[in-house]
């Protein structure tokens, strides 16, 4: 019988984390690396990737970086082929890269809508499809973790105007369910994490305005911290969650129960 500690061990696994150079993506990449996974992190900015690589290597984590924009979906096969030429497969895919844009629905720019949907939905699908076909389905094994948001579980609270973001994150949750139903026969688990409010570059403006009221209406009376996604992503990436698929976990201090 496997010891429970070994169920969480990721030694020898290869994990691809998009948007992994900072914020929540870097936090999750670090967690997977600390549990033994070899990492590939992608992002648009080479300087941020270089800094992330230095941070991870100081923790004795094996990491490769790829600067790219996965919203340009035509480049996804090249990205995946490059990783597979360097590593023996992709065992874990964390679809974390995302974007937002704030504007009232009646004035929402078409360009902004397309930017958010292209990255938050289209790139998630086409990257999952490519990794599935080239790496996971042939091995009959894999873990796909889609980073949605509690914004995908409801509408906008007063003071927010992020209709494309909320729409995309709701789509991410149903995409997770649909793909899990199709790929279960290949022994591929597909689940989602729905973070609540974490201090990040993307959320900075909103938290400057609403941070105090968000904490006041959250049961744990706090925002997410630098380690609050680590346990969840390791659980979903490991054999500890092998009988869980098509689910989402809200990591939000209890905000969605109120």
Q: Which candidate, 166, 155, 174, places its Cα nearest to that of 248? A: 174
CA atoms in the 13 A half-sphere facing the CB of 72: 8
Q: How far is CA 230 from the centre of its chain?
A: 12
Q: Which residues contact 72 (CB under 8 A, 6 or more apart)?
A: none
- Tell me how far apart the alpha carbons of residues 232 and 54 are, in angstroms, rounded to a whole number: 24
Residue 108: active-site member: no
3-class secondary-structure state, position 53: helix
Strand, helix or coil for residue 217: coil
* CA-wise closest residue to 127 among 83, 165, 162: 83
Active-site annotation holder among 108, 165, 186, 248: 165
Distance (Å) of CA 225 to CA 199, 200, 258: 8, 10, 20
User: Catalytic positions, please?
Assistant: 165
């Amino acid at each position: 019988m496997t010891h429970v500690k070994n169920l969480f061990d990721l030694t020898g696994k290869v994990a691809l984390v998009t948007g992994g150079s900072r914020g929540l993506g870097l936090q999750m990449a670090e967690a997977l690396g600390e549990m033994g996974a070899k990492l590939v992190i992608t992002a648009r900015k080479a300087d941020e990737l270089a800094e992330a690589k230095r941070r991870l290597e100081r923790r004795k984590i094996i990491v490769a970086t790829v600067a790219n924009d996965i919203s340009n979906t035509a480049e996804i096969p090249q990205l995946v082929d490059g990783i597979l030429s360097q590593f023996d497969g992709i065992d874990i895919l964390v679809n974390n890269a995302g974007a937002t844009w704030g504007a009232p629905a009646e004035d929402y720019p078409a360009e902004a809508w397309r930017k958010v949907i292209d990255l938050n939905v289209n790139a998630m699908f086409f990257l999952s499809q490519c990794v599935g076909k080239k790496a996971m389905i042939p091995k009959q094994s894999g873990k796909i973790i889609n980073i949605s948001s509690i914004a995908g579980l409801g509408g906008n609270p007063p003071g927010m105007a992020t209709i494309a973001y909320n729409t995309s994150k709701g789509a991410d949750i149903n995409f997770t369910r649909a793909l899990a139903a199709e790929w279960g026969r290949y022994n591929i688990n597909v689940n989602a994490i729905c973070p609540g409010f974490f201090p990040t570059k993307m959320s900075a403006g909103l938290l400057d305005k609403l941070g105090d009221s968000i904490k006041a209406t959250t049961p744990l009376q706090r925002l997410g911290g630098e380690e609050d996604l680590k346990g969840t992503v390791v659980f979903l990436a490991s054999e500890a969650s092998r009988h869980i698929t098509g689910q989402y976990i809200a990591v939000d201090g209890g905000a969605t129960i109120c």
